[in-house]
Amino acid sequence: MAVDADEAIYELEKALGKNLSTDLDAAKLERMQAALDDVPLRQIIELIERQSSPRGAVLLRLLPPQRATAVFDALDPAHQADLVEALSDESVTSLFAALGAEDRVQLLDNLPAEIADQVMSGLDEEERESTNALLGYEKGTVGRHMSPDVLAVGAGEGVGVVVDKLKAQAADLETIYLLPVVDDDLMLVGVAELKDLFVTHADTIGQVMREPVWAEATDSAEDTARWLLATTNIAVPVVDADKRLVGVFTYDEAHDVIEDADSEDTARQGGAEALRRPYLSTPVRELFRSRIVWLLVLAVSAILTVQVLDVFEGTIAQVTVLSLFIPLLTGTGGNTGNQAATTVTRALALNDVRTRDILPVMWREVRVGLMLGLVLGTLGLVLGWVVFGSDIGIIIGATLLSICTMSATVGGVMPILAKTIGADPAVFSNPFISTFCDATGLIIYFLIAKAVLGL
């Protein structure tokens, strides 16, 4: 089967060609459809992720409805949006309706308004109401990512009755493994797990339920997701401000939230925006947009470094050997700051550090920076002394000590300051810290040089 699948993939990619349009002759379509029949679902997903949107749309049209739905559901929301714009109206309607309410919301967030209205109009009244209910919550909240498709049971219901309900409704539920228990007003009073229903000898749900742990619909989706993934729970009930059950937040949805958040943080720490779709299916213009803004910001920020060099041009002219160490010192400062920023940004994401911990973090990073500076500064002192003389050795050693201490402290504090003012800590991490530490490190370097050399 593996060999046949690989051959089918090869034939498909060859058939797609370099100049594929969405209009193909019947014979070619038939050959591609036959080849797809031999390809496992996972490999079809990977194949579509490597294609442009028009090519991916062609492949989706060739799949049977059930396989097309499964493939479409597995794609990133931004990639789904690209395919929606490339697909015909009837194809979009069936694929969109087959998604869960929470997945529809993520897709709608990536669609132009006119296309979003078009696909919403193809839903039945019940599907439209459940989707609009989630759209009513702010982006980034649990309510935006929960599923309203959950079976709520009463404490007085019989265990056997509930099992029969699960059998009848399983295909329409987001999860059958967690059962929220509610009272007559839909207030959450407990939870029960599917396995409890099969091993218990109790008569009613109230005898097997346990105290509930829940999330509010207005809670941060990222914070709740990180908490959920760190537990053994497969899902958590979601309630409104009055503790009425409104949905369920599942493990797989939490995983998607964290994957998106981590991708965004990683991209921003490297001076770019997250693509939110597979690389090969991302249009070149999107790759350009994800990078150009950051490059412009960093280019403007780098002017600070040029200005510092201009101010101390006379010092460099008098002792030209000082210019040799500029790359070493700026690189060390930027790397030290980035290490601290990355560590603290991750700690913030995991709730190991909170905004009120700014002073303890600062004190820890001061000490870490001092220790790093002592090691690197001692090395710089010895090498500089041996090669260029005692004065240069002292300048390099003292500068490395100062720069490491300053950079570690700034790198540790800036992500916390960013979160305090409501900004993304990753934005204030590597790119900006590198620029700040470059300029500040050069000022420290030349001030120490002027003091030691008496310039």
**Containing H/E element for 190?**
strand 188-193
pLDDT higher than threshold 90 for residue 290: no
Residue 389 carries which DSSP code? -
Q: Once rounded to an integer, what is the mean pLDDT over residues 197-206? A: 87
> Considering the entire predicted model, what is its pTM?
0.70
Q: Once rounded to an integer, what is the mean pLDDT over residues 80-102? A: 79
pLDDT tens-digit series, residues 294-340: 777 777 767 777 777 777 777 767 777 888 888 888 889 888 988 89
Residue 430's pLDDT band, with cuts at 50, 70 and 90, is low
In b/e form, how buried is each residue of 25-50, taking b as 16+ CB within 10 angstroms?
eeeeeeebeebbebbeeebbbebbbe
Residue 15: per-residue pLDDT: 60
pLDDT higher than threshold 90 for residue 244: yes
Rg (CA), the chain: 29
The 3-state DSSP class for residue 140 equals coil
Residue 14's pLDDT band, with cuts at 50, 70 and 90, is low
Cα separations (Å) of 433 from 349, 437, 454? 19, 6, 31
Class of residue 352 by CB neighbours under 10 A (exposed 0-12, middle 13-18, buried 19+):
exposed
Q: Once rounded to an integer, what is the mean pLDDT over residues 418-429? A: 75
**Cβ-Cβ contacts under 8 Å for 396 (sequence gap 6 or more):** 325, 329, 377, 380, 381, 383, 384
- 176, 151 Cβ separation under 8 angstroms: yes
Q: Supply 408's token pair.
A: 């570690």
Residue 342 carries which DSSP code? H
Residue 237: per-residue pLDDT: 95
Residue 12: per-residue pLDDT: 65
Q: If you search the block for the tokens 């990355």, which residue do you land on?
A: 342
Q: Which residue segments constitute the domains of the chain, with CATH numbers given? A: 5-136 (1.25.60.10), 153-270 (3.10.580.10), 283-453 (1.10.357.20)
Q: Which residue has the higher pLDDT, 404 or 31?
A: 404
pLDDT tens-digit series, residues 253-278: 999 899 888 887 777 766 677 777 77
Residue 2: per-residue pLDDT: 42
Class of residue 243 by CB neighbours under 10 A (exposed 0-12, middle 13-18, buried 19+):
middle
As beta bridge partners, residue 153 has: 181
Residue 145: per-residue pLDDT: 93
Considering the chain, what is the average pLDDT of its residues? 83
Class of residue 157 by CB neighbours under 10 A (exposed 0-12, middle 13-18, buried 19+):
middle
**Containing H/E element for 248?**
strand 245-250
pLDDT tens-digit series, residues 367-420: 999 999 999 999 999 998 998 888 889 999 999 999 999 999 999 998 898 888
- 144, 221 Cβ separation under 8 angstroms: yes
CA 323, CA 319: separation in Å to the nearest integer?
8
Q: Which residue has the higher pLDDT, 317 or 285?
A: 285
> Whose CA is closest to 382, among 364, 363, 367, 397?
397
Q: Supply 299's token pair.
A: 């280019």
CA 68, CA 287: separation in Å to the nearest integer?
27
